[in-house]
Amino acid sequence: MTAMRIEPEIGGASVVLVGHLNPAIFTPHWLSSQDLITAQEADAANILVIHPEATKFELANMTVTVNTGQFSLETTQAPWVPLVDLVGRIFVERLPHTPIFQFGINRNVHFSVEKEPVRNAIGRMLAPLEPWGTWGEQIGARDVPNRGGLSHLTMRERWTEGEFKGSLNVTVEPSVRISGNTGMYVRVNDHCEIIDHNDLDATAKILAFLTARFETSIRKSEGLVDQVMSLRDLVTAHA
C-alpha cells in the first residue's frame, strides 16, 4: 500500500474478470469443497443471490459477484493481495478452462478535505468554469442548494503491451457517502484485455498478466489518488 496524505474514510479494491462464466458454480460451499475457504467461512457466508444467471454472496472480508459475463471479487479490508491470490486459485488451479479475456484492477477511496470551499476550489481546478462562457458564469454565481460544477470527471490513459492492451481510468466525483459537502470520491480502474480473444491460451496468459501486474497497479492507483488529495494542500496554500 502507498501512504496517502489524507486518511480515507471509506475505501476498497476489487478484481473483475470478463469472460464466459457459469454463475451457478460459485457458491460458498463450492469454494469450501475446493479448499479455497474453510467450512466455517462457507457456513457463515451471507448469501444474497444464487441463480443460474447471477450469484452474489458475502464472506467475512470479501464479496463475490458473478453473472454470465463477469466475475467480481471485492474487499474493503487491506491488504489487497488476497484478492488476486483467490482469483488465481479459482481460475488457474480449479477452473483453468473458463474463457477469460479481460480484467480490471480497481481501487476506490472516499476522503474528506474538511471544508466545503476547499472541495469547491478543487472542483474548479479540475473543471474550470471559464471555458463555458456565460453558462460557466451562471454556474459560478449560484450557491447552495443550487451550486453546480464538477459532478463526474474521468481521465483516461491508453496503452499497449505485447499481447495486451488496456486503459487506466481515473474518476473523480463529489462523495455521496461523506456528509457536510466536504467529501471526494476517486476511483481508479486499470483495464486490460488480451488482443486475440481466440488465443487458445488466452485465460492462462491474461491471468498470469493479472498476477504480475496487480501490486504495481495498486501502487500506481494509490499514487494517483494521493495526487488528487494533494490538491487540498495546493488550494489551502493559496487561500
Task: Report whether 48 contacts 59 (CB < 8 A).
Answer: no
pTM of the model: 0.95
Give DSSP secondary structure letters for 158-210. EEEETTEEEEEEEEEEE-SSSSTT-EEEEEEEEEEEES-TT-TTHHHHHHHHH
pLDDT of residue 187: 99
Tens of pLDDT along 106-158?
Answer: 999 999 999 999 999 999 999 999 999 999 999 999 887 778 899 999 999 99
The conformation of residue 148, written as its DSSP 8-state character, comes to: -
Domain boundaries, given as residue ranges, for the chain: 10-21+69-237
What is the percentage of the chain residues whose pLDDT exceeds 70? Answer: 100
